[in-house]
Homo-oligomer: A and B are copies of this chain.
Amino acid sequence: MELLDTLFGADLVRAIFSDVLRLQRMLDFEAALAKAQAKIGIIPSSSAAAIAARCRVQQFDLTAIARAAATSGNLAIPMIRQLTKLVAADDENAAGHVHWGATSQDVIDTGLVLQLRDAMSSIEKDLAILSDILVRLAKQHRDTPVVARTWMQHAVPTLFGLQVAGWLDAFDRHRDRLKQMKKRALTLQFGGAGGTLASLGDRGLDVAEALARELHLALPEMPWHSHRDRLAEVATTLALLSGTLGKIARDIALQMQTEISEVSEPAAEGRGGSSTMPHKRNPVSAAVALAAAIRVPGLTSTMLTAMVQEHERGLGGWHAEWDTLPEIVQLTAGSLHHMIEALKGLEIKTDRMLENLEETQGLIFAEAAMMALAKHIGREAAHQLIDAASHRALAERRHLRSVLVEDVAVTRYLPAAEIDGLFDPLSYIGVARKFTDRVLAEHRNVSPTGERG
């Protein structure tokens, strides 16, 4: 399924989860294990050097590993077998120290953690970039009126800056979640066959500590072979992020509809063209982000279902994770990449936003009128009065303003000038700007790397 990877993924994260880097990270574990064991004197330094020298994926026959995995049931066994042979060719003694004390799951899980560390770093950088774009947009459009839509119907006016602030605000939470999750998830897996490191005698913990240092990973209280909440939390954290990206994509797709045309994904050579309709521009980035938001929940439910793993190391549940978690990471990274593309060059048509506010001939200001009237005659009465006027406006296809100025029950309390003012979008946006400012305040001292002050 490589053909579609460029569409749905993001280049860097796609590389991180390539076959080649998957194996390399497993080999990184083996090299670090040998070095750690040499440092604390469990194996000779010469063995560590000989092993580390061979832990380079270029020297491995990936096809053979893939084929052997079909009978061994995992990638580690054939990889270690190849590694052992390669090392033996250089140093027979060192070959006996390959993978010493570790079990297949140690190398597979830790290799995955190393991939996840790289991927999370890339995603965090992209999140910072996206936030910067949104900060700029929210400031630029702090005063741009646009329709607030609820239940997919016009409701009342709002500001486009606030709409953007809502997107930005969600990413602030996602960045906190990622940070907290990483502390729990990015830890060493090292327990040996049964989680006791028994084959290392009483040196197991020493090796574990040295190995964690070598890989710059946190050392967990104990191995977590059959406790998968750490990895499942990677999935859920990204699923939440992917959901927000999908929500933005939906907003863009909706506001980009031909009849609405308030925003548009940027135009670019070959981007979103149709094979037969020359005038059409398809929201390609929105399509990708929406697809991700549809796919990631199902994949995440797989990661959650797979948590029920048996005893010290489970059957089936572990295997179910191998392709699922990388897919979640890649889909989320791809969705993020596409939303950066869409938002950084987003075409924003403020004139069209104003036109759309007029679509209902003033009915969108009905609540404003009701509230203004309610101050004089109470809400219930105001509601009835404006309701009647609204229905008249609809039936007679007239502007609500003109219906109201003719209605003595209204003009008794509201002079024509005040009625006119009710139909200015900026007169009925409440504390929208204050909300936007509260969100932006979080970003006042943002460093270039995206760390909030």
Given that A70-B7, A308-B247, A313-B151 are known contacts, is A93 also in contact with B378, CB under 8 Å in the complex? yes
Asked if A155 contacts B277 (CB within 8 A), the reply is yes
Asked if B315 contacts A253 (CB within 8 A), the reply is yes
Task: Give the contacting residue for A268; candidates B71, B199, B270; CB below 8 A.
Answer: B71
Name the B residues within 8 Å of A74 (CB-CB): 7
Task: Give the contacting residue for A62; candidates B3, B165, B233, B297; CB below 8 A.
Answer: B3
CB-based nearest B residue for A260: B259
CB-based nearest B residue for A155: B194
Decide yes or no whether A402 CB sits under 8 A from chain B: no
Asked if B298 contacts A430 (CB within 8 A), the reply is no
Number of interface residues of A (CB under 8 A): 192
Asked if B246 contacts A308 (CB within 8 A), the reply is yes
Decide yes or no whether A452 CB sits under 8 A from chain B: no
Asked if B202 contacts A430 (CB within 8 A), the reply is yes
CA of A282 to CA of B279, assembled, Å: 33
A406 to chain B, nearest CB (A): 18
Name the B residues within 8 Å of A73 (CB-CB): 7, 151, 272, 282, 284, 287-288
A451 to chain B, nearest CB (A): 18
Given that A71-B271, A276-B370 are known contacts, is A436 also in contact with B152, CB under 8 Å in the complex? no
Asked if B71 contacts A439 (CB within 8 A), the reply is no
CA of A254 to CA of B316, assembled, Å: 13
CB-defined interface of A305-319 with B at 8 Å, one 1/0 digit per residue? 111111111111101
Decide yes or no whether A218 CB sits under 8 A from chain B: no
Decide yes or no whether A281 CB sits under 8 A from chain B: yes
Q: Copies of this chain, how many? A: 4
CA of A290 to CA of B71, assembled, Å: 16
Asked if B326 contacts A221 (CB within 8 A), the reply is no
Within A203-261, which residues are at the interface with B (CB < 8 Å)? 204-205, 220-230, 232-233, 236-237, 239-240, 242-244, 246-247, 249-251, 253-254, 256-260
A179 to chain B, nearest CB (A): 10
Decide yes or no whether A367 CB sits under 8 A from chain B: yes
A276 to chain B, nearest CB (A): 5
Asked if B270 contacts A72 (CB within 8 A), the reply is yes
Binds B, one of A48-56, A126-134, A386-394, A408-416: A386-394
Asked if B229 contacts A378 (CB within 8 A), the reply is no
Within A1-60, which residues are at the interface with B (CB < 8 Å)? 1-8, 17, 19, 22-23
Asked if B435 contacts A222 (CB within 8 A), the reply is yes
Name the B residues within 8 Å of A305 (CB-CB): 243, 293-294, 297-298, 305
Asked if A274 contacts B193 (CB within 8 A), the reply is yes
Asked if B276 contacts A193 (CB within 8 A), the reply is yes
A5 to chain B, nearest CB (A): 7
CB-based nearest B residue for A220: B169
Asked if A3 contacts B65 (CB within 8 A), the reply is yes
Within A281-333, which residues are at the interface with B (CB < 8 Å)? 281-284, 286-291, 293-302, 304-317, 319-320, 322-324, 326-327
Decide yes or no whether A396 CB sits under 8 A from chain B: no
Asked if A156 contacts B193 (CB within 8 A), the reply is yes
Asked if A310 contacts B6 (CB within 8 A), the reply is no
CB-based nearest B residue for A198: B430
Given that A199-B371, A307-B243, A367-B193 are known contacts, is A319 also in contact with B301, CB under 8 Å in the complex? no
Decide yes or no whether A154 CB sits under 8 A from chain B: yes
Decide yes or no whether A170 CB sits under 8 A from chain B: yes
Given that A270-B72, A308-B290, A319-B287 are known contacts, is A221 also in contact with B275, CB under 8 Å in the complex? no
CA of A291 to CA of B314, assembled, Å: 11
Asked if B323 contacts A8 (CB within 8 A), the reply is yes
Name the B residues within 8 Å of A316 (CB-CB): 246, 249, 253, 286-291, 293-294
Name the B residues within 8 Å of A327 (CB-CB): 1
